[in-house]
Amino acid sequence: MSTWDDIDTRARSSNSEPYRAPAAVCAALGNEKRIELVALLSKGALSATDLREKTGLSRSSLSQHMNILEAQGLVRARAKGRCVGYELAGAAVIDVYHAVARLCRERIEGLRKLARQL
């Protein structure tokens, strides 16, 4: 699998294919509840029941959100009898979550500095 840096610049300017998968992952993470779910799972695997209790989501809403995250390879579901547990699909998911959180903190700090200057 190529990284973005490995892709020829000319191919990037004429073809959106290399950006499709990253855009789909970003879209999956582009929802507050799904970010909350990733944040909860970044601390370790949780059952669907635990996730519902912590987020206030209904069973069907949780299922819908988890299906979106799972379709993009961000989480894995594990069935154990009638219970379903979820975990992040790998360390890269945690890295992305932390990078986005850091970006947001830096942006907020920049806005605070700007506000103090006014």
Asked if residue 63 lies in contact with residue 52, where contact means CB atoms within 8 angstroms, the answer is no
Confidence of residue 65 (pLDDT cuts 50, 70, 90): very high
Q: How far apart are CA 77 and CA 45, in angstroms?
A: 10
Q: Which residue has the higher pLDDT, 96 or 3?
A: 96
Residue type, 103: L
> Residue 90 maps to which CATH number?
1.10.10.10
Q: Which residue range(s) make up the domain with 17? A: 4-117
Residue 36 neighbours by CB distance under 10 Å: 16
When divided into structural domains, the chain yields a total of 1
d(Cα 14, Cα 12) in Å, to the nearest integer? Answer: 6
Of 33-37, 60-64, 77-81, which range is least confident?
Answer: 77-81
Q: Which amino acid is at 52?
A: R
Query: Is a pLDDT exceeding 70 seen at residue 8?
Result: no
